[in-house]
Structure 1
Amino acid sequence: MAADTQAVIGFVGLGVMGGPMCRNMALKHAGDVLAFDANPQAFQILDGTKARRAASLAEIAAQADIVFLSLPGTPAVEAVCLGPQGLTAGTRHPRVIVDLSTTTVAGARQVGEALAAHDIAFADAPVARTREAAQRGELSIMVGADAALFARIDPLLHYIGTDVTHCGGLGCGQVVKLINNALVFENTVALAEMMVLGERAGVAPATLLDAVSKGSGDSFVLRNHGRKAMLPRQFPDKSFPPEYVLKDIQYVLELAAETGVAARVTELAQRYYAAAAQGGYSGRYFPAVIEVIDGNADLPSTTTLRKD
């Protein structure tokens, strides 16, 4: 397949990550870009670009050749792709749908199979790194697709990312993204615990981070979440809250159950973030989990967190 550098791009979901991604596509893509979001305020991020506001998903489906999604999770992706008001509801469909969201692996594969029946190619391409990286167009993108489809969408993904990795067939992008997120969440809990321990033992947190960053304990989490959020104890609203963490962790645990892996470290992290969500940090940036540790808060049991 040839690259679609002149194709009409549709973009659905202009949230914290989707808004900056759509803006970068509108600034860099040679063809037209249409955007849709249920929140009218979300379109402000596209001011000064050529992106046009679509009134509905039907308008996106009727005009776009390739549609990118940035949505909250599996149910939203299913509804946008396959629902009665979704991208497959009308007589004209996009040729390709690329999902930049984080979903379950099973959900990605099921959506892909359903779209194939409509002759629509589907790739899961979840993104990693921060909101600032999204604004700069420097995301890491993990793609699950066959080789031909990957070659087709790779140039378009470079509008929003500097590192685009073909992880394997459909669903493999989500596998890698969920593992990536689990490692970040688990590392954040571990770093928070050690920052509290170090401070109570007499080492200033800033000194601890400086020293550890020069040794083998250095990490992306230390340099970003540790320095920028946990050190100043600043956990703003409208960032990535514990509720989002818990959604991703649940996806990881579902995948672990499907593959027969006892993911006990991930289960422990789930308890910490549940305590953060229930302990006054709902809606706040997830490194606020350090406050749970600093307060020696009780953790919910895995039994109360288990979903039937």
Structure 2
Amino acid sequence: MTAKANERIGFIGLGFMGHGMARNIVEKGYALTFLAHRNRAPAEDMLKRGATEAATARELAERSTIVFLCVTGSRQVEEIVRGKNGLKEGLKKGSVVVDCSTADPTSTTALAAELAPLGIDYADAPLGRTPKEAWEGTLDTMVGASDAVFARLKPVLETWAGRITHIGTTGDGHRMKLLNNFLSLGYAALYSEALALSAKVGIPPRRFDSVIRGSRMDCGFYQTFMRWVLEGDRDAHKFTLANGLKDLTYLESMANNAGVANPLGNAAKNSFLGAVTAGTEEYVPMLPTYVGRINGVDLAPKPKKD
């Protein structure tokens, strides 16, 4: 019997990333059950593709051998696992839970320890890249799991990921993801402040970009980030400022637990905190709008002049 026939996949979280991931799992031959979702459009799409809908996490767990979670963070994951009609009530011995959210590693390792006596494995496989790559099946993922669990998960991960790195044991995937997001969100805070200062001294964003783009300071994240300021593309990077703040808060906790000073991480976190509390538009590339405003410059997108 093939691995696809042996495994029954459960999926919770049909959001920006999860919808594409779940679609690829189904289209590449796995039976999939998903949890009912408040946004009915992804749910209806998955039903048309042959997936099955469950009413509760417990029901989904009873039908599944591997359950993927793609939700906001640790608070949501803990509720899905431990809550009434949660996964823990329905999972069978030999099941695996795979947390693809960006979560607090302390919570991740605690959940793994809680499920281990029940014969249930827990892995973390947070994501890199964007909803576009989720739909194309070319996401990055960094996996924290034992060698045996990783070997079991790999064929399923390959349905939606183009780059799979076995980073270490359970919890290490989330640790590495926080480090990854520290870099990207730190870039976002740095770019935003640089753009505000640039505009303040008389160098508008397009002229700023004409120097940075193609230079050693250029990178893929910069190019995606700048699409809001330069083009007004609100969908360039559909990752919310609130999620960025959450991730930098988790990073702060990880640094505190490790006894490491994290002043740059805290500076980036405060930039995101200011934007979120001010009600700035929701995605990370919109951070310059807020940073510009508090510094008296307008970094809202402008139409390109001929």
What is the aligned partner in structure 1 of residue 181 from structure 2? 181
For the residues of structure 2 that align with 1:237 and 1:59, how far apart are their CA atoms?
A: 36
Bigger mean CA offset, 268-277 vs 253-262: 268-277
SS of alignment partner, residue 266 of structure 2: helix
**What residue in structure 1 maps to residue 291 of structure 2?**
293
Read off the aligned partner of 1:249 and give its amino acid letter: L
Aligned to 1:190: 190
Q: How does 1:220-299 map to 2 (within 5 A)?
A: 220-226=220-226, 228-235=227-234, 239-281=238-280, 284-297=282-295
After superposing the two structures, state which structure 1 stretch, 86-95 or 133-142, moved more. Answer: 86-95
Q: Which moved more, 1:199-208 or 1:150-159?
A: 199-208
Aligned residue in 1 for 2:151: 151
How far is 1:188 from its partner?
Answer: 0.9
Amino acid at match of 2:36: D
Indicate how the Cα distance of structure 1 residues 142 and 224 shifts in structure 2: closer, same or farther if over 3 A, else same.
same
Mapping of residues 1-308 of structure 1, within 5 Å:
4-6=3-5, 7-28=7-28, 30-39=29-38, 41=40, 42-46=42-46, 48-90=48-90, 92=92, 95-226=95-226, 228-235=227-234, 239-281=238-280, 284-297=282-295
Runs of 4+ in 1 over 6 A off after TM superposition: none
**Change beyond 3 A, Cα 1:45–1:251:** farther
Q: What is the aligned length?
A: 294
For residues 237 and 246 of structure 1, the distance between their equivalents in structure 2, rounded to whole angstroms, comes to: 19
Per-residue deviation at 1:91? 7.3
What secondary structure does 2:179 align onto? helix
- Structure 2 Cα separation of the partners of residues 91 and 277 of structure 1: 37
Cα distance in structure 2, aligned partners of 1:183 and 1:37? 34
Contact map agreement 2:69 2:98 (CA 8 A) in 1: yes
**In the alignment, is the contact (CA less than 8 A) between 1:209 and 1:222 conserved in 2?**
no
Q: Residue 231 of structure 2: SS of its match in structure 1?
A: coil
Q: What amino acid is the match of 1:185?
A: L
Consecutive unaligned residues of structure 2, counting only runs of 5 or more, are 297-306
What displacement does 1:230 show?
Answer: 2.7
Distance 1:203 1:237 in 2: 24
Contact 1:37–1:43 (8 Å) recurs in 2: yes
Q: Measure, in 1, the Cα distance between the counterparts of 2:94 and 2:19.
A: 21
> How far is 1:261 from its partner?
1.0
TM-score relative to the length of structure 2: 0.88
Q: TM-score, normalised by structure 1?
A: 0.88
Q: CA RMSD in A?
A: 2.3
Q: What is the alpha-carbon distance in structure 1 between the residues aligned to residue 256 and residue 85 of structure 2? A: 33
Deviation, 1:219, is 1.9
Instruction: State which drifts further: 89-98 or 185-194.
Output: 89-98
DSSP-derived class of the 1:97 partner: strand
CA distance in 2, matches of 1:31, 1:45: 16
Please say if residues 80 and 86 of structure 1, whose CA atoms lie closer than 8 Å, have aligned partners that are also in contact: yes
